[in-house]
Amino acid sequence: MSIFSTRRKPPRVGDALLFRRSLIGIVFVLVAFVIIAPLVIIGVEAFSKGWQLYRDTVIHPDTLHAVMLTVLAALIAVPVNTVFGIAAAWAITKFDFWGKRFLLVVIEIPFSVSPIVAGVAYLFVYGLQGLFGPWLDAHDIKILFAVPGIIIASMFVTAPFVARELIPLMQAQGRDLEEASTSLGASGWRTFFSVTLPNVKWALLYGVILCNARVMGEFGAVSVVSGNIRGQTNTLPLHIELLYHDYNATGAFAAASILALIAVFTIIAKVALERQGAGRVRKQTNPAEKTS
């Protein structure tokens, strides 16, 4: 066993020991300063003025309203984007149609464009001076600076998550399974629920979790369209910023701790799902082609 031998040999593959250790060391230091330290600070600061103040901030009506609004946005945006993601992935991977490549690119746009740009764009579409603004105003429909605007902005930002998880997997799986199912006499719906869905369920759940995490944490786009009205159109991330600007650092950290807690649960769920075989690791394997 070469690793136990006392003679120093160059590694058979890869880099020298010193290089390897310094590389690992740099990563650990960076993780500690960039990720761990801020997370710890959130916890420490949130409780710095005692449990009482923490509790007061968390159960303050404005905070609770922000939490409720964030949950409401997730409850609407996540299912809508899940259905959208499944439909888009299904269409792109199982059918050939004109404009397919274009659709693939368009789905990715929310990933590449800054959320604040999306928010501003919505101002110009639904705002009073915007495209549909006068019509909406005439019919007394409020989208901007109201809950619908928050939900629409969240949906825009998280639109690609589910589709992006499903498309590579469904592409790798091909159409054989669906063709087999149909040739055996199954209807389209039956094929989808009995054959397609069970084979992508882990990737789907993974996409839903990522989508949910993003909806709850979205700041940029929502901050433009919500109007930041305390107790009315304030989501949790916006509320944190507001508290911070009020010089209520402890309150801001207390609210942030709720968001951080949600993130931690998300990561636990994500890791658990990855153990089940979801995520990017297994994307390349095609169950239909795993021979012998």
Q: Which residues bind another protein (CB under 8 A)?
A: 176-177, 179-187, 190, 194-195, 198-199, 287-292
- Taking the least distance from each CB to another protein, the nearer of 57 and 181 is 181
DSSP state letters, 83-136: HHHHHHHHHHHH---TTHHHHHHHHHHHHHS-HHHHHHHHHHHHSTTSSSHHHH
Question: What's the closest the beta carbon of residue 166 comes to another protein, in angstroms?
Answer: 16
DSSP state letters, 143-183: -TTSHHHHHHHHHHHHTHHHHHHHHHHHHHH-SHHHHHHHH
- Taking the least distance from each CB to another protein, the nearer of 114 and 194 is 194
Question: What's the closest the beta carbon of residue 197 comes to another protein, in angstroms?
Answer: 10
Question: What's the closest the beta carbon of residue 182 comes to another protein, in angstroms?
Answer: 5
Q: How far apart are CA 222 and CA 238, in angstroms?
A: 8
- Taking the least distance from each CB to another protein, the nearer of 99 and 185 is 185
Phi-psi region of 95 (alpha: psi -120 to 50; beta: other; left: phi over 0): beta
Contact 60, 248 (CB under 8 A): no
- Taking the least distance from each CB to another protein, the nearer of 7 and 290 is 290
- Taking the least distance from each CB to another protein, the nearer of 60 and 282 is 282
Question: What's the closest the beta carbon of residue 108 comes to another protein, in angstroms?
Answer: 25
Question: What's the closest the beta carbon of residue 97 comes to another protein, in angstroms?
Answer: 13
- Taking the least distance from each CB to another protein, the nearer of 171 and 248 is 171
Question: What's the closest the beta carbon of residue 87 comes to another protein, in angstroms?
Answer: 21
When computed from its CA atoms, the radius of gyration of the chain, rounded to whole angstroms, is: 24
Distance of alpha carbon 78 from the chain centroid: 9
CA angle 212, 217, 219 (to 5 degrees): 130
